[in-house]
A and B are shown apart, each in its own frame.
Chain A
């Protein structure tokens, strides 16, 4: 006798059987993707000095060590400063260029468009080397300022490309209407275009901050005494496996993940509205 319940059971189990290869593949790949992160976070709570099995925690002492580490906190502050300022410059310059090429009649606009996004096609390592040689040649001392300059070089093309792609016909019509109603160019740009492009401006800013925050090779090559967080972590790696590195890595991970989740919620909220 087949009761409705057992029929559902049979169907579910047969579906499970059919999906078995797919499910096991997903489990394996997700295992591969998560393994290092899980190990990183777990052994950040290690009690002894080496972050390998057996796990003898949980202990928060390595997190305490990070917060007490003056250099690490300075590097964190530097990273945030460089990230925010360089991203601000990237968004503003990218926006002005996109507005100019999309709205105002510039002969050879395609050519300039190509010039502006060219840095996207070159390895960071090459950009870093070029900047290092140029700064040395010109006698400009390596500092956080030069790191910020480098981060604008890699982020501005991105902001430009995002903003340029968002300046569609619909916005052009609204801008034309504003102009017909007597607004002059600056008013149109600041009071009409900027508010309409707000989501894209915000997105490119966040993307720039993320890239700057995680960028290593440029920051490594063109900084000297004041360094950013990835460079400070890099110099910690010389001491080999160390729970303190686990702790700072886990902190970065948790902060970024929470920020991303918040953004995700924010974006899906605004989409619904």
Chain B
């Protein structure tokens, strides 16, 4: 008994640093942020009285509410398009490409991962902006007779996001597909299913949980990202992270920014619960 207590005492000592770090620099900041979201900024002063006025403002001002709606729309489009583009690629890599080439094909498929995130969005600017690659190509071919810009709008933001998430989803879906034994497809074929039927009734249901996990990851990373919309999206419509950053940098309104961040967290939690529920239902 003596030995046990001393061992668990040592266990606590080893656990303590990580635990304290997480509490001090993760949970405490969240609590402080939660408190801030209930306070107000009046003039340049912080008024520490509890009220829901920041949240009321969020619902009352279309400026805030629209940015959430924009974020949800862009994220939904990005998630769906990325999955639709990545699945066939992962499928081809896992099933059609000879095994010894798969490794190198995957490394190539995620090559741009190794540029920095900020630079990746910037490089799309080189492609999409006025006088850029596409604009120049259209001029050369003669489709347009003046430089055109494809940057600084929602489409550019979506392209930048999809570029990143196609790589990510190809990896996760590929990892799922290679785990399926080849015999499943052969069995389906032996039982008379054509390639389409065997895909819809056998392969797709088996890989769907993996796709949902990848899609959730896409959703979380996309809806919380500030860089891509800020570089590629222009300032005609703002996404929620941009609105949050504006509250901090332009207005130094920490309480409002905190309230918006809490709302972002709530949205992510709701989607998380929905995905978890669905996955559990699926497994039963």
B58 within 8 A of A: no
CB pair A237–B224 under 8 Å, yes or no, is no
**Residue A150 contacts which of B25, B231, B272 (CB distance < 8 angstroms)?**
B25
Chain B residues near A185 (CB, 8 Å)?
Answer: 7, 10
**Residue A32 contacts which of B163, B224, B244, B258 (CB distance < 8 angstroms)?**
B163
CB pair A33–B136 under 8 Å, yes or no, is no
A58 within 8 A of B: no
Chain A residues near B244 (CB, 8 Å)?
Answer: 125, 129
B210 within 8 A of A: no
A63 within 8 A of B: no
CB pair B167–A33 under 8 Å, yes or no, is yes
Chain B residues near A200 (CB, 8 Å)?
Answer: none
From B26-34, B62-70, B179-187, the one touching the partner chain is B26-34
Per-residue B-contact encoding for A90-119, CB less than 8 Å = 1, 0 else: 000110110111011111000010011011
Asked whether A37 and B33 contact (CB < 8 A) given A52-B131, A97-B18, A230-B116, the answer is no
Per-residue A-contact encoding for B1-39, CB less than 8 Å = 1, 0 else: 000100110111011011101110111111011001000
CB pair A37–B117 under 8 Å, yes or no, is no
Q: In the complex, how many residue pairs between chain A and chain B have their CB atoms under 8 Å apart?
A: 231
From A3-11, A131-139, A166-174, A201-209, the one touching the partner chain is A131-139
B129 within 8 A of A: yes
CB pair B109–A33 under 8 Å, yes or no, is yes
Chain A residues near B4 (CB, 8 Å)?
Answer: 105
- C-alpha spacing A230/B118, complex, angstroms: 7
- C-alpha spacing A53/B36, complex, angstroms: 49
Chain B residues near A116 (CB, 8 Å)?
Answer: 18-19, 22
CB pair B32–A118 under 8 Å, yes or no, is no
A122 within 8 A of B: yes
Q: Told that A230-B118, A256-B115 touch, could you supply 18 new A-B pairs with CB distance under 8 A?
A: A39-B127, A39-B133, A40-B126, A97-B18, A107-B8, A115-B19, A121-B220, A122-B26, A122-B268, A125-B225, A133-B36, A160-B18, A217-B226, A229-B116, A233-B118, A241-B126, A246-B123, A256-B114
* A residues whose Cβ falls under 8 Å from a Cβ of B: 19, 22, 25-26, 29-30, 32-37, 39-40, 43, 50-54, 93-94, 96-97, 99-101, 103-107, 112, 115-116, 118-119, 121-127, 129-134, 136-137, 149-150, 152-153, 156-157, 160, 185, 213-214, 216-217, 221, 229-230, 233-234, 237, 241, 245-246, 248-249, 252-253, 256-257, 260, 264
Nearest first, the 6 A-B pairs at minimum CB distance are A123-B224, A130-B29, A104-B11, A249-B119, A97-B18, A36-B123
